[in-house]
Amino acid sequence: MASHAAFPSAPSRMQRLRQLSQRHLRQLRRTLAHLAPRLWLLCAVALLVVSKADLRFVNWLSATASDLYVPAAGLLYQPVDWLRRLGEEAAELLVLREENARLRARIGELERLRDEALRLEVENRVLRRMLAMPSPPATVRQTTARVIGDSGGPFRHARLLDAGSERGVAVGMAVVDEHGMVGRVVAVGRRSARILLLTDLNSRIPVLVAPSGDPAILEGDNTAHPKLAFLPLDPAMAVGDRVMTSGHDGLLPPGLPVGEIEAIEEGRVTVRPYADWQRLDWVTVLQYAPVVPPEQEEPGAAAGPATAAAGQPAAALR
């Protein structure tokens, strides 16, 4: 009995613990209720101080934060920028590789054409010597000019050059680029000239089709593909044949590459010019010595060869 009285039972211990916790909870509530007004007062004072603070301090704080953010952002952006530049350089390298391959193929083609032109020139010289034919008049010299824009003249397909009469450019001269003939000069100023493209509606150029040798007139129709007119009765041309100037008008040098026959449909023959109209930047003006008709030659120059050929004075021929 004594031992049971010395130790309290389990329900009594639980009751004591519950009472003790309730006592501590009441003390905590009283403490919070006592401190709450002071905390609210402290927050109000802090808000009042911040609202009355000098804006310069706020600006300084913002500037300092920005100064700290910029280097950090730069460090984070460097890998992204490095990857972007690496991708751009790789793409540029691929483009340069393709361009290099294209230029190599173009150089090979030009070398082949050069060899063929040299062979034909030698053969032509030998044949002319055998037939005792005079050599054709050659190009005096060339003038390189830049295309500075579309012409504002009466023609739809025309370009303006930065070379004029001061550099020897005259009306009627042929204009070519690295691919072939572009057009001819139709107006000249002191420092500028207007060229009429092959595609203009007003363009008319005598040409020859190789290898058939059919003569024709290349007429522009304001499209990218001019047509051939005044064909012979039984033309032997075919798609893919080369078209070049014939020089029959006496103003344009013969043999200038113009383009290739693109289609022959219902009597209409269209030509695909070699010139790239979208990338027409630098051109060459050929200062060609035209063939002068006999009636326009000077009397003394015309009588001289006749006198020498007959072996007697010109008066004796009357």
Backbone angles phi, psi at 56, to 5 degrees: -65, -35
Closest CA to 179 of 273, 285, 111: 273
Residue 168 backbone dihedrals phi, psi, to 5 degrees: 85, 10
Fold of 139-290: Thrombin, subunit H (2.40.10)
Q: Of the given ranges (27-31, 240-244, 257-261, 280-284), which has the lowest mean pLDDT?
A: 27-31
In this predicted structure, the answer to whether residue 1 has a pLDDT above a threshold of 50 is: no
| Burial class, 61, CB count within 10 angstroms (exposed 0-12 / middle 13-18 / buried 19+) | exposed
Residue range 9-34: average pLDDT? 71
- pLDDT score of 212: 86
Secondary structure of 191-222 in the HEC alphabet?
Answer: CCEEEEECCCCCCEEEEEEECCCEEEEEECCC
Candidate ranges 78-87, 252-261, 306-315; pick with highest mean pLDDT: 252-261
Q: How many CA atoms lie within 13 A of 88 on its CB side?
A: 6
Q: Average pLDDT of 182-209?
A: 92
Q: Please, what is the Cα angle at 211 between 207 and 213, to 5 degrees?
A: 45
**Would you say the C-alpha torsion 183, 271, 231, 221 has a positive or negative sign?**
negative
- The confidence band for 74, taking pLDDT boundaries of 50, 70 and 90, is low
pLDDT at 180 over 70: yes
Instruction: Please name every residue paired with 136 in a beta bridge, in sequence order, or none if there are none.
Output: none
Q: pTM of the prediction?
A: 0.52
Q: pLDDT of 112-134, one tens digit each? A: 888 788 778 777 777 777 776 55
Task: Write the CB contacts of 202 (distance below 8 Å, at least 6 apart in sequence).
Answer: 155, 196, 220
Residue in the block written with tokens 């730069």:
74
